[in-house]
């Protein structure tokens, strides 16, 4: 989105959906150099409707500050919708987006044919972001542990992402004392992945919580959501007790406000000792 950095594109963060919404009028104006982005969007919207484009139908409106300072309803799009709309804008400024989307699409098809490529690309991405080799290896191990946990949940009869999200929240709260949303706010995160912003110690404890949950689930063979929720709380509590013991012994809080943007690959220890 570097193209928009010097331009005024209004956006709103929806914390409940964890989604950014962008003003379509502003994007149209930036990409087309139009003097009236609203007129351009109205014409484009009409053409897309005639073509049966569902993206337009699914767009909704949110209140955003207008030029006169008042909050007015305007058409908005989430990231997926916005990228789809950009593909329909015939403009030189839109071409970098279209080229990037084609490249990402090819990479995804390659990964479907050879899943190992996805791991290689993940490692390259972490390196590019400045993460240490030790942290990357630990993060990849956490992904393996997470996959074992979701496989166990499927065995217990759970299949929906909503169920997984609720159980993950139970595990996180049991070991860290914070819900996932509270944890992300503590680290000043929005769309970013929470695990990608954990310190080494936080990541280890999260792995312990998920691995413990998997082993407990295998031992008690829960059937259905509520029994799996109980196992998740137990597994998270094991790591929670470890966190508390570490805090007592070190005098420092384990849960850190550090994130990938504020520390060098999260290797810098943040001093969180309480006063007194």
Separation CA 42–CA 25 (nearest Å): 9
Separation CA 34–CA 38 (nearest Å): 9
The answer to whether the CB of 22 falls within 8 A of the CB of 75 is no
pLDDT in tens, 140-161: 999 999 999 999 999 999 989 9
pLDDT at 238: 98
CA proximity to 92, closest of 32, 45, 47, 34: 32
pLDDT in tens, 187-237: 999 888 999 999 999 999 999 999 999 999 999 999 999 999 999 999 999
> For the whole prediction, is pTM greater than 0.85?
no
φ, ψ for residue 33 (rounded to 5)? 55, 30
Separation CA 115–CA 235 (nearest Å): 30
According to DSSP, the β-strands at 19-23 and 71-77 are antiparallel
Helices (H), the chain: 24-32, 37-50, 54-58, 79-86, 95-113, 116-128, 133-155, 161-176, 180-186, 200-220, 225-250
Q: Point out which residues pair with 60 in neighbouring strands.
A: 76
Out of 19-28, 94-103, 187-196, 236-245, give the one with best mean pLDDT. Answer: 236-245
pLDDT in tens, 101-145: 899 889 989 989 998 888 888 899 899 888 888 889 999 999 999
């Amino acid at each position: 989105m570097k193209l928009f950095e010097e331009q005024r594109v209004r956006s709103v963060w929806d914390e409940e959906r964890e989604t950014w919404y962008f003003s379509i009028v502003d994007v149209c104006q930036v990409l087309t150099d139009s003097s009236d982005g609203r007129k351009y969007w109205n014409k484009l919207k009409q053409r897309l409707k005639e073509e049966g484009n569902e993206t337009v139908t699914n767009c909704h409106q949110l209140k955003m500050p207008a030029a006169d300072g008042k909050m007015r309803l305007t058409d908005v799009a989430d990231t997926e919708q916005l990228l789809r709309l950009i593909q329909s804008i015939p403009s030189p400024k839109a071409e970098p987006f279209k080229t990037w989307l084609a490249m990402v699409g090819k990479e995804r098809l390659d990964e479907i044919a050879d899943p190992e490529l996805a791991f290689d690309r993940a490692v390259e991405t972490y390196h590019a972001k400045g993460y240490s080799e030790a942290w990357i290896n630990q993060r990849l191990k956490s992904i393996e542990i997470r996959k074992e946990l979701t496989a166990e949940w499927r065995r217990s009869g759970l299949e929906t992402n909503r169920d997984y999200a609720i159980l993950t929240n139970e595990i996180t709260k049991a070991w860290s004392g914070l819900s996932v949303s509270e944890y992300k706010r503590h680290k000043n995160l929005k769309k970013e992945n929470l695990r990608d912003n954990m310190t080494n110690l936080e990541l280890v404890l999260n792995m312990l919580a998920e691995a413990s949950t998997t082993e407990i689930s295998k031992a008690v063979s829960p059937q259905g959501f509520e029994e799996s929720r109980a196992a998740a709380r137990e597994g998270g509590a094991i790591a929670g007790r470890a966190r508390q013991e570490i805090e007592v012994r070190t005098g420092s809080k384990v849960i850190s406000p550090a994130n990938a943007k504020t520390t060098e690959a999260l290797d810098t220890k943040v001093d969180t000792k309480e006063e007194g």
